[in-house]
């Protein structure tokens, strides 16, 4: 019998297994597909690999402004895919090596609960019973397939298949304007594909800061991406070798045509075949209910990541995995979601952490806001990437940072500073007193903190500015 058994080897699962092993537990890790899960194999990593290839190609268009001549620039989609696949393979091999080096026993197959301490593992025709004192569920999520007539037609794919088209289509319709939808739109539009986004809600990326959303829509338009919001897709049919997507906006029926259709309508927990409910694990539909220790309603069973979390992010799953593993071996740990950074790899990038203006005011916080545009940042100018801004929210009473919303190049690399600031209850004065290197994009954080109190050096003077009381 194992001390800890982890079901699922995605970011949360393999992290949980390694942490349990570090703490001396005899550990088993079960995976039915590829180590690394969706994030490494079909999501985060391959998407970002393609995004980097596309951005490298697009950067050639502005080389003349840098004094560099580039003639007859082109791209090779096959080589882009090969690069993506090589990165995935290398990282997957690295995770497998980490698992092995921590003396974790890796099992291949699909698990189903028999009891609270045992599972049946199915691998082809072979069935094996595995037992453990504690079990951590990390089975991840799968794409949501909206019940639209025609969703099963050839050429209608999910985000899992969207990064492996045999040939680059001339046109793509993306159903869903969330993170997955806009990231894929940026990739394919950058390669010259005609892209349309159909979003049922009133806006794309509905949960992000409205200022960023408004700026992003202008960028998407410049990238020749058509965005249709409040658009309810009704049917998908074949039409002369193309897919005809019929949709309604405000009661008005319309349609558009595209060679391929990508269903980017979200993801749901992959728990259907797990048999967790049958042994007493409390569920909310497909999602497993857990407490702050990641413990389920069955004392020795824990759940992490997309199988249980309302925040479907790989780094959240990894943090939850550490908490679950520590509790499973007798330590005491709890999750803290107060400073979870979120990153969106559009061009420019989006990053945020903490509260939005609306959320802060709903909590009764008297918010002061500091902003700084990238067009006033020297490093951004030298890079030729001046679109975007930094926005920091603080509590007027004591200047404590409560939220941050960034839009611009490499902001996903900058957001961790503000996540740490929120985690440590840092204030505007502490950001202002921290010397930021020049010339860097990170100076925008320093400048925005000063702007909140009317003391920004590199912006036009404000009169009657209100600072921290």
DSSP designation for 163: T
CB atoms within 10 A of CB 144: 13
Catalytic pick from 405, 410, 438, 450? 438
The span from the CA of 410 to the CA of 232, in Å, is 34
- Beta strands 401-408; 389-395: pairing state: antiparallel
For residue 425, what are its two tokens?
């209850």
| 436 noted as active-site residue | no
The span from the CA of 108 to the CA of 351, in Å, is 36
Contact predicate 369/399, CB 8 Å: no
Q: How far is CA 50 from the centre of its chain?
A: 15
The span from the CA of 55 to the CA of 75, in Å, is 11
Note the residue count of the chain. 469
The span from the CA of 325 to the CA of 6, in Å, is 9
The span from the CA of 390 to the CA of 352, in Å, is 10
The span from the CA of 375 to the CA of 193, in Å, is 29
Q: Which residues lie closer than 8 Å to 313 by C-beta, 6 or more apart?
A: 340, 342
Active site residues: 438
């Amino acid at each position: 019998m194992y001390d800890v058994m982890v079901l699922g080897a995605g970011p949360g699962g393999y992290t949980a297994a390694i942490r349990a092993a570090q703490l001396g537990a005899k550990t088993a890790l079960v995976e039915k597909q590829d180590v690394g899960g969706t994030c490494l194999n079909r999501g985060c990593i391959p998407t970002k690999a393609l995004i980097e290839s596309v951005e490298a190609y697009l950067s050639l268009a502005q080389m003349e402004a840098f004094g560099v001549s580039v003639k007859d620039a082109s791209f090779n989609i096959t080589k882009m895919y090969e690069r993506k696949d090589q990165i995935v393979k290398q990282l997957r091999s690295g995770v497998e090596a980490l698992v092995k080096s921590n003396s974790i026993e890796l099992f291949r197959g699909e698990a189903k609960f028999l009891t609270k301490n045992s599972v049946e593992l199915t691998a082809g025709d072979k069935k094996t019973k595995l037992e453990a004192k504690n079990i951590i569920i990390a089975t991840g999520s799968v794409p949501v397939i909206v019940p639209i007539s025609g969703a099963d037609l050839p050429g209608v794919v999910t985000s899992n298949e969207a990064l492996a088209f045999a040939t680059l289509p001339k046109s793509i319709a993306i159903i869903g304007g969330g993170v997955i939808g806009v990231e894929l739109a940026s990739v394919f539009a950058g390669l010259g594909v005609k892209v349309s986004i159909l979003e049922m809600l009133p806006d794309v990326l509905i949960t992000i800061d409205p200022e960023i959303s408004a700026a992003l829509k202008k960028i998407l338009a410049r990238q020749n991406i058509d965005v249709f919001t409040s658009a309810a897709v009704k049917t998908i049919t074949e039409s002369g070798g193309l897919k005809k997507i019929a949709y309604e906006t405000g009661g008005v029926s319309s349609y558009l045509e595209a060679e391929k259709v990508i269903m980017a309508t979200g993801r749901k927990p992959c728990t259907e075949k797990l048999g967790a409910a049958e042994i007493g694990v409390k569920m909310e539909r497909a999602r497993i209910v857990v407490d702050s220790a990641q413990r389920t309603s069955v004392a020795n069973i824990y759940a992490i990541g997309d199988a249980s979390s309302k925040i479907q992010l790989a780094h959240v799953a990894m943090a939850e995995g550490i908490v679950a593993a520590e509790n499973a071996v007798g330590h005491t740990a709890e999750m803290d979601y107060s400073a979870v950074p979120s990153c969106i790899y559009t061009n420019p990038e989006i990053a945020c952490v903490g509260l939005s203006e609306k959320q802060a005011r709903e909590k009764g916080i008297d918010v002061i806001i500091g902003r700084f545009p990238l067009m006033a940042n020297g490093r951004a100018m030298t890079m030729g990437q001046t679109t975007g801004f930094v926005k920091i929210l603080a509590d007027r009473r004591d200047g404590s940072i409560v939220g941050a919303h960034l839009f611009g190049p490499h902001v996903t690399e900058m957001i961790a500073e503000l996540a740490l600031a929120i985690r440590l209850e840092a204030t505007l004065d502490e950001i202002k007193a921290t010397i930021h290197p020049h010339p860097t994009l990170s100076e925008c954080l320093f400048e925005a903190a000063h702007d909140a109190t009317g003391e920004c050096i590199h912006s036009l003077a404000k009169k009657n500015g209100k600072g921290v009381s």
